[in-house]
Amino acid sequence: MAAIPAPVPAVDAATGVLTGATAHYRKTLRDLEGVFSDDQAFARRLAAAPGEVVYDVYEVQRSQAPGDLIFGTSILEPGVVGSEFHMTRGHLHALVDRVETYYCLRGTGVLLLESVPGGIETIELRPGVVAYVPPARIHRSVNTGNERLITLFCYPADAGHDYEIVHAANGMRSLVVRAPGGGWALVDNPRYRQRDA
Ligand code: ZN
């Protein structure tokens, strides 16, 4: 009997949809309770449209074997909660030395990186930028523009995800907010809880 050929994955550059994906995750406002800093602004957005999509992730994972790769697309809708731009939850890889790349296909944004001691770095995303996440960095993408931010990511299949490190610190050390004159700015997260060395 002939094997059924696996579809060759393909990205629709306009929408970010990855055909041939083995998994698809969607995060709506209701899934992101506690992620944004301004509780009142979040409550207003939630009351108006609890099922509004904030981001979608499509991925291809063939195995969890060391040496294998996971790749896929992240599609982050534009918008703000209060002054804070839409963003992904953010995570550290469970195997902390596992790195990642993000290739920006569409839109503008910021990749926010935080070391475990709390050092912040940013990489501005625009089409064509290839961003590298070094080992042991918490990372999140933020859409600072007016259209979808679409990135293609790739990381080791055995990396795993630690979301708790972000939750336990009440988020990341810095917030990416709309600047008064337009564009974006970093401000301190007032609720940030410093990790023990
Ligand atoms: Zn990652």
**Span from the CA of 131 to the centroid of ligand 1 (angstroms):** 12
Report the pLDDT value the prediction gives residue 1, as an integer from 0 to 100: 61
Q: What is the mean pLDDT of the chain?
A: 96
**Span from the CA of 49 to the centroid of ligand 1 (angstroms):** 28
**Span from the CA of 161 to the centroid of ligand 1 (angstroms):** 7
**Span from the CA of 1 to the centroid of ligand 1 (angstroms):** 39
Q: Which CATH superfamily is domain 10-188 in?
A: Jelly Rolls (2.60.120.10)
The residue extents of the domains of the chain are 10-188
**Span from the CA of 122 to the centroid of ligand 1 (angstroms):** 15
pLDDT tens-digit map of 138-166: 999 999 999 999 999 999 999 999 999 99
**Span from the CA of 157 to the centroid of ligand 1 (angstroms):** 11
Report field, pTM of the whole predicted structure over 0.85? yes
Tokens, residue 24? 């698809």
Measured CA distances, 165 to 5, 30, 131, 132 (Å): 40, 21, 22, 21
Q: Name the 3-class secondary structure at 26.
A: strand
pLDDT tens-digit map of 41-94: 999 999 999 999 999 999 999 999 999 999 999 999 999 999 999 999 999 999
**Span from the CA of 159 to the centroid of ligand 1 (angstroms):** 8
Tokens, residue 97? 């030395």
Residue 2 has pLDDT above 70, yes or no: no
